[in-house]
Structure 1
């Protein structure tokens, strides 16, 4: 048995459309030993369980063993080579076979095995034994390739270097309605009671809804950390249809925090782990610990630095909870565009409000459009370009930030035909606008793209960020100051020096608040009736909580 790292030779094997099988000089008519052994090796190369097992003296156990190994190894291609069998006078023959399992981009695993063939009344057959798969392999065993990850797992760190998210053992409490059968309703009630001390919001109706939406398939009722399991009212595994799966998951280091940013950061973290993952080939025998046969493992991945501010995340979480309708809030560093935090209430989470999804802006951007119209004197092309320079009308793809599903509408504006309810922007767009205006007030004239992973570049499509006209920025900033002093945001307290844009898209919203304050850009998005008032309510709670 030989393991080899991935090489140019292996790449050539992986790229081949068909596998090459070198066999003895058989007649090809299926009646001589060389032909049968060659066909067997060819079937192994094709990972054809039925064909390979049918050429053996024991098709059923051969099919079981080969099927388990093919599934466990998951090789892209398999190459087999056999030597010409040596026949003996007692109607038997011996042969050797080399099998190479290939995983493109990862490596190869080779085995050298020996076997025998017997001439029966029906013709030559390969004498089945597990040792054809791996030398001295016990009956009932299989080969398998498993992923390995270097330890320790990387952490996702905040802007100050503190751990924001880390991998931790978790317990996935899974309910299978089919396993519960007629006791399904009673089991759901019992499960809800068991987890109530730690997960009171996961009620029986909530679990039933999950089951209905899953079409009767198993559902994860809740994911709990190890300490949480000690606080349950009853052991979930004693409930019919409930199992507890143990796994590792990236979770918030501070249990008080939750954020829509978790999904995007987890996806980025997973990609980093995938890039540094290794693998191991094991011999698995029932009742015994898997035996490592070969492995390849790289070094641990580096921790992931982000722009997230943990204290800011906690403040945002407190700011959105009191609003009854969907409310989402993001804050950005006003000089760099780094995302500091993002939070939303349960209603917004159910609506799947996302940072990169475009929503109607209504009257919120009227001061921006008015300033651009005056500067471009009705030239729609120039107006579009100026919008792009401020971060509007473009799409941001920021590593670590989840992308919205579907295609966002790319807005256009014409000073002659523009209607507020025709324009759409994402919270990232609004954040980029706020950062551009804040930078303009500090003497900078170039927009920057929002980002969350330090050192990663945000892709900008649909237009180009660039230098914007200082006069336009001053015009908008002046209006924002008036809005905060005497306009719709004038009732807000505890925010000296605030500059704001406030607006809605009609009575049913959505409503927006974009504020510049204390070196930060605040973006609040609310939906439903009186959403503009709701956005101001979130802003006021933010300014109040920030001072605590």
Structure 2
């Protein structure tokens, strides 16, 4: 028998002749022979500012040290892609002083600009003309120690991620990142131990060994030992920041509304939620000063983005999580609606988290799909093109990118066409879920396959082929084999699952092991790794059926 697997598919500046009484652009003009007069000195200052060189600009002032510090703060705070600065109305006086105006235009992406005009004076010293240093040169009224900054703003209230019933599944909440910086402690081992003791009341799994391992992987860079919500911080008996090298950073994070829940879908949902925040983000230029409340100078903010409506069933998600921890080896479980392909939930245990198991990566299926691939072989009659078409329609010959489930990853090599052998074919959990839904729909007389999805109204991307019409000549024998597996085969010991149809298999003694079950209007996919992983997959499935 053949196993049929488809191969996956310098800004130019115009010169102008200007008199000293007219505006003089700094673009392309540095300190030259002209800087022996007031206009030349101011022009050199402006040219350095356009290069965003605070030290270079400060040397043309009467107080280079103070000016360097202040200009650095503003240039870093504004972080402009381009800064244009024009010198306007420079006038020298007989007493060795001069006056001028500066028109500054800060530019960022998305056509964002901020313009300001400031006034200043210059003096002729023994070292030549110098700009009299005042913070107001940067912006009128800027105090000493003050700065300008450009910041991102987000509309309120922030979007929530909702379950299929409309209840909040995930929401933005203030959190505390507990960060350990090796460079800020003399005794890193002692700090790791002290931090672990401090965190033990709320995070006992963050041991000194875990912290040390994170430090080793970070190669000397700061690590986030754990992220805690505000109520968690109240449980701690001492302040983590008291540990040498540890700081507590306040931030916001999208978290589960029900703290009992966790899911490998969290990164995908967070990425989609963040994309909405990014698309609706605004901006603001602020003036800051010591002891002063930030003052808005310019900016725009649009309306808040829409909430993310998902197909997740929170109660089912809790059951999936309880089932995943049934075994002491990597286990991941996904549930889909058997009629629509909606992904109802996905959970995994800590061993699977450590292994980085996800819904997108192809894993060896071994003997699991023998009935399916035998059916493809029979229908295709050794025609590669026909086999690929059938695989596509079953959801096996394609790659899915499911918004809310898939996360950005490096390009993965396509699945290769190979001869039948143990471990010869690899499919993702999403592929296996799509296959299960196709079989469930065929069993109900709906002879077409559908694409799995998580976010309502947001289509899944399918690469490498199309799903579509199903052939009873293929699905009939497969369904019969699945029924037999549940009645007298490897899944026959499972209880509390009336009407079960199943595919069960492993990729040899070391696994991985799979379970694909159709029952109660749902499709269940279980993936386990390690020794006796086929048995482990059945254990996880059994736990699910008992508690669902």
Which interval holds the TM-score relative to the shorter structure? over 0.9
Summarize the alignment of residues 261-280 of structure 1 with structure 2, pairs less than 5 Å apart.
261-280=265-284
Report whether the alignment pairs 1:481 with 2:483: yes
Closer, same or farther in 2 for the Cα pair 1:127/1:396, shift >3 Å?
same
Per the alignment, residue 221 of structure 2 pairs with: 217
Contact 1:24 1:83 in 2 (8 A): no
Q: 1:240 Cα shift?
A: 2.2
Closer, same or farther in 2 for the Cα pair 1:320/1:20, shift >3 Å?
farther
Per the alignment, residue 49 of structure 1 pairs with: 54
From 68, 90, 93, the equivalent of 2:95 is 90
Q: How far apart are the structure 1 equivalents of 2:411 and 2:435?
A: 21
Per the alignment, residue 195 of structure 1 pairs with: 199
Per the alignment, residue 3 of structure 1 pairs with: none
From 103, 122, 140, the equivalent of 1:135 is 140
Per the alignment, residue 380 of structure 2 pairs with: 376
- Structure 2: which 5+ residue stretches go unaligned? 1-9, 21-31
Per the alignment, residue 17 of structure 1 pairs with: 11
Matched residues, number: 528
Moved segments of 4+, more than 4 Å: 18-24
Closer, same or farther in 2 for the Cα pair 1:235/1:84, shift >3 Å?
closer
From 485, 490, 493, the equivalent of 1:491 is 493
Summarize the alignment of residues 243-258 of structure 1 with structure 2, pairs less than 5 Å apart.
243-258=247-262
Q: How far apart are the structure 2 equivalents of 1:42 and 1:68?
A: 18
Contact 1:170 1:225 in 2 (8 A): yes
Per the alignment, residue 25 of structure 2 pairs with: none
For residues 340-389 of structure 1, give each alpha carbon's deviation from its aligned partner in whole angstroms, at most 9, with x where no partner exists: 11111111100000100011111111111111111111112210121011
Report whether the alignment pairs 1:392 with 2:396: yes
Report whether the alignment pairs 1:64 with 2:69: yes
Q: How far apart are the structure 2 equivalents of 1:20 and 1:102?
A: 19
Root-mean-square deviation over aligned CA pairs? 1.8
For residues 4-46 of structure 1, give each alpha carbon's deviation from its aligned partner in whole angstroms, at most 9, with x where no partner exists: xxxxxxxxxxxx8346798953696332222222222222222
The TM-score with structure 2 as length reference comes to: 0.93
Q: How far apart are the structure 1 equivalents of 2:360 and 2:435?
A: 14
Contact 2:35 2:43 in 1 (8 A): no
Worse overlay, 352-361 or 168-177:
168-177
Report whether the alignment pairs 1:31 with 2:36: yes
Closer, same or farther in 2 for the Cα pair 1:529/1:250, shift >3 Å?
same
Report whether the alignment pairs 1:427 with 2:429: yes
Report whether the alignment pairs 1:521 with 2:526: no
Contact 1:37 1:126 in 2 (8 A): yes
Q: How far apart are the structure 1 equivalents of 2:47 and 2:189?
A: 53
For residues 482-515 of structure 1, give each alpha carbon's deviation from its aligned partner in whole angstroms, at most 9, with x where no partner exists: 1111111111111010111111111111111111
Contact 2:393 2:449 in 1 (8 A): yes
Q: State the secondary structure of the residue aligned to 1:85.
A: strand
The TM-score with structure 1 as length reference comes to: 0.93
Report whether the alignment pairs 1:145 with 2:150: yes
Q: State the secondary structure of the residue aligned to 2:423.
A: helix
Closer, same or farther in 2 for the Cα pair 1:413/1:366, shift >3 Å?
farther
Q: How far apart are the structure 1 equivalents of 2:15 and 2:307?
A: 46
Q: 1:162 Cα shift?
A: 0.4
- Structure 1: which 5+ residue stretches go unaligned? 1-15
Q: State the secondary structure of the residue aligned to 1:381.
A: helix
Q: 1:239 Cα shift?
A: 2.3
